[in-house]
């Protein structure tokens, strides 16, 4: 049973078509990386998938998009805003309840952020910031994670930690990545996009970064 199926799908915004006649089937448990040049349509496809999945998916947007004025706890708690009543949300905004703090702390512990739980996100380092964004997506109850360049602003060591945690905690992983080596290492299926079309859709097994060069080669003679 497929999690999601796109058939001859086109998408874009402001009347401009960016994705052309896509066919894509995703089954639960897959770890898919979208690769391609910037501007090829990776983000557009990722958002199309996220919109179809609805509350089944947690989103990690490109710039992490944490709320600067709030603490790590509040930003992570946001992963379940939709499951709680407005009153509980308001209460936690003003005075976090012990039960919810414990829940969030459990998510933060493996990411080495439990000490930072009541820090303002503005005070975090780049890696901690990115891990907080991941914690928010992990706290979201959805079994799918949709992540747009989740490791673009951290070093390789932190990138591996984030991708490993993501793979371990969520059933289905949909990524947009510009780092080809990491994409091949952490995804089991590579979807290559060029000029808004899927031009490659293969298992990552045995693939090497050089095999993806065609996606980045210019068409000009």
User: Is 137 or 187 the residue whose CB approaches another protein more closely?
Assistant: 137
Examine residue 142 and tell whether it contacts another protein (CB under 8 A). yes
Examine residue 126 and tell whether it contacts another protein (CB under 8 A). no
User: Segment 89-108, which members bind another protein (CB under 8 A)?
Assistant: 89-90, 93
Question: Which residue has 């298992």 as its token pair?
Answer: 203
User: Is 41 or 79 the residue whose CB approaches another protein more closely?
Assistant: 79
Choice from 2, 27, 81, 199 touching another protein (CB under 8 A)? 81
Examine residue 74 and tell whether it contacts another protein (CB under 8 A). yes
d(CA 53, CA 142): 9
Examine residue 150 and tell whether it contacts another protein (CB under 8 A). no
User: Segment 12-41, which members bind another protein (CB under 8 A)?
Assistant: none
Count of residues making up the chain: 221
User: Is 74 or 131 the residue whose CB approaches another protein more closely?
Assistant: 74
Phi–psi pair at 168, nearest 5 degrees: -75, -30
d(CA 157, CA 175): 18
d(CA 45, CA 174): 10
Examine residue 66 and tell whether it contacts another protein (CB under 8 A). yes
Longest Cα–Cα distance of the chain, Å, equals 64
> For residues 103-129, b (16+ Cβ closer than 10 Å) or e, as one string?
ebeebbeebebeebbeebbeebeebbb
Question: Which residue has 């930072």 as its token pair?
Answer: 116
The distance of closest approach from Cβ of residue 148 to another protein in the complex, given in angstroms and rounded to an integer, is: 9
Examine residue 61 and tell whether it contacts another protein (CB under 8 A). yes
In the complex, the residues that contact another protein under the rule CB under 8 A are 54-55, 57-61, 63, 65-70, 74, 77-84, 86, 89-90, 93, 133, 136-137, 140, 142
């Amino acid at each position: 049973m497929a999690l999601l199926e796109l058939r001859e799908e086109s998408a874009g915004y402001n009347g401009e078509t960016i994705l052309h006649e896509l066919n894509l089937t995703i089954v639960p448990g897959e770890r898919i990386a979208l690769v391609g040049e910037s501007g090829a349509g990776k983000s557009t496809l990722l958002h199309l998938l996220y919109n179809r999945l609805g509350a089944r998916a947690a989103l990690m947007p490109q710039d992490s998009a944490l709320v600067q004025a709030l603490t790590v706890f509040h930003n992570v708690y946001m992963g379940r805003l939709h499951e709680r009543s407005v009153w509980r949300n308001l209460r936690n905004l003003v005075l976090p309840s012990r039960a919810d703090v414990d829940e969030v702390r459990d998510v933060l512990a493996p990411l080495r952020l439990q000490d930072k739980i009541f820090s303002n996100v503005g005070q975090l380092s780049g890696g901690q910031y990115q891990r907080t964004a991941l914690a928010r997506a992990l706290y979201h109850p959805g079994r799918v994670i949709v992540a747009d360049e989740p490791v673009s602003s951290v070093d390789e060591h932190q990138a591996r930690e984030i991708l490993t945690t993501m793979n371990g905690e969520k059933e289905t992983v949909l990524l947009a990545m510009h780092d080809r080596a990491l994409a091949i290492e952490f995804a089991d299926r590579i979807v290559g996009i060029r000029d808004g079309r899927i031009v490659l859709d293969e298992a990552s097994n045995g693939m090497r970064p050089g095999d993806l060069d065609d996606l980045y080669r210019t068409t000009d003679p």
